[in-house]
Amino acid sequence: MSSAGLNVSPEHVQQITDARRIASSALAYAEVKELRAHMRKQREEFGEDLEDDEDEDDEDDEEEEDDMPLAPQSVADILKGGKRAAADKAAPNSKVAKTDAAKPTTTKPDSKAAAPPTAAAAKPAAAVKPPAPKTVKLGGGLEYVDMQVGGGPPATKGRTVNVKYRGTLTNGKQFDAGTIKFRLGGREVIQGWDMGVEGMKVGGKRTLRIPPQLAYGKKGAPPTIPPNATLLFEVQLKSV
């Protein structure tokens, strides 16, 4: 029977080989015994004293029997040994399995979990700046910008208006400031004022840029306003 048919391990095959070797030794031992018996028979024929030889033979036989195994290992024992070897091989794996089972399992944190907000995310959005006031250009080179649109009644030609003001030159030098009442469009003030204040609503604020031809012209208003001076005014309509 081949080792492949028994489906045994290499250790099992080695044990079968040892058993065969022992069986061969036992067979040789039987042949030696038979040869010695034949020699005793011949001695008897020649009248030799066989008792001494038998004693010696018995002693030799005992020594050889002590060295010789009683019987070769049975196939059943070999198979059992092979099963034990296979079990021994499987044992380390089971130990490893138990060791792995004993190890505590660690759960990795979910990389997709919500992370704390970064500095960039936590930074509030910048406030949206209101659009810059629009510059309006009128005839004669007059320009004005509504810094604040009022909510009251509008200033129209022929109505008396109350205006708070501050006047400077283009170099930033202030030449006048105060409050004034006049009839709009009645030429009671410079032409630039009649044109620039018209259309304002009570509570509104406006800046005026008045060229020389709509202000004091070539002569100016000495000593505070030089000739051909462009005038800048900040005006607020108080009432109509």
Active site residues: 165, 175-176, 190, 216, 233
- Write the DSSP assignment of 86-129 as a string of letters: HHHHHHHHHHHHHHHHHSPP-PPPPTTSPPPPPHHHHSPPPPPP
Neighbours of 176 (CB within 10 A): 14
In 119-190, alpha helices (H):
119-122
Give CA–CA dist 60/52, Å, rounded: 12
Q: Which residues are CB-contacts of 147 (< 8 A; sequence separation ≥ 6)?
A: 133, 205, 206, 207, 234
Give CA–CA dist 216/218, Å, rounded: 7
What is the DSSP secondary structure assignment for residue 201, as one 8-state letter?
B
Q: Beta strands 135-137 and 143-148: pairing type? A: antiparallel
- 130 preceded by cis ω (within 30°)? no
